[in-house]
Amino acid sequence: MNKDAASRREFLAGVAVVAIAATNRTDIAFGTTLNNYANTENHMPFTLPELPYAESALEPTIDAKTMVIHRTKHHQAYVDNLNKALDGQAAYANWTIDEICQQMGSIPETIRVAVRNNGGGHWNHSMFWTIMAPKGQGGSPSADLAASIDKSFGSMDAFKKSLADAGMKRFGSGWAWLIVKGDGSLAITSTPNQDNPLMKGFVDVVGTPLLGIDVWEHAYYLNYQNRRADYLGAWWDVVNWNEVNRRFDTAKK
């Protein structure tokens, strides 16, 4: 590992400690704490994170069967295939999933497609579970975040409409994101497949995701069939603003 990489690992280790400390909190109003938040403290072999609420807790917006299949089949497959792709790659044995996404260009070409698809799938879904909460238990946008949203998009309603538009315009499968860019400004973007805005060099807009909505059909088909717009409209009932606020505060530091 070169010096820059070593410094970067030290820095990220510090970030991970802060993140773990922040997520060991007990002030959330539902379920367990978010100790497994995005598995940021983990590395190979990666594991499926626990849900911070019951599988039925997001009903009627997201039904329990969809949650079970989504997490234990789709997300589990991303975890398994990521571990398979990185098996025997000693250089990446201690890389967190954040580092893998952020430094995708350093992954050997022979395994990069598999790591990009499955590593992205693991990161994206680990985040997705934590930014949802049972209806009425997700809090509301902090004053800071609400002000930034107003400044960037005009109003909360305009922001929600723009994010839904990004999700609707994503042809096929992918994600719609609210991110903080390097200059501190907020932006809405979308990515195909399991790419995410951490993947510098592989996506149009790079930034730190505050919130991402899964617009793969597997996320909504049982309940909404082809009605992606209805899913995107209903999804706001289960957004966990407390976690989005925490991500915003962390990203600004």
The answer, yes or no, to whether the previous bond of 60 is cis (omega within 30 of 0) is yes
Rounded least distance, CB 236 to Fe ion, Å: 18
Beta carbon nearer to Fe ion, 57 or 219: 219
Neighbours of 56 (CB within 10 A): 14
**Residue among 214, 232, 239, 243 that touches Fe ion (CB under 5 A):** 214
Looking at 57-65, 101-109, 159-167, 219-227, which segment touches Fe ion (CB under 5 A)?
Answer: 219-227
Q: Does 216 bind Fe ion (CB under 5 A)?
A: yes
Rounded least distance, CB 175 to Fe ion, Å: 8
Rounded least distance, CB 218 to Fe ion, Å: 5
Cβ-closest position to Fe ion: 214
Which amino acid would we find at residue 72?
A: T
Beta carbon nearer to Fe ion, 153 or 216: 216
Rounded least distance, CB 140 to Fe ion, Å: 26
CA atoms within 13 A on the CB side of 127: 27
Q: Which two tokens stand for residue 220?
A: 């909504």
Q: Does 235 bind Fe ion (CB under 5 A)?
A: no
Angstrom distances, CA of residue 110 to CA of 85, 90, 113, 116, 201: 9, 15, 8, 11, 17
Q: Does 224 bind Fe ion (CB under 5 A)?
A: no
Neighbours of 144 (CB within 10 A): 12
Q: Which two tokens stand for residue 127?
A: 């985040």
Q: In whole angstroms, what is the distance from residue 142 CA to residue 147 CA?
A: 8
> Interface with Fe ion by CB under 5 A: which residues?
214, 216, 219
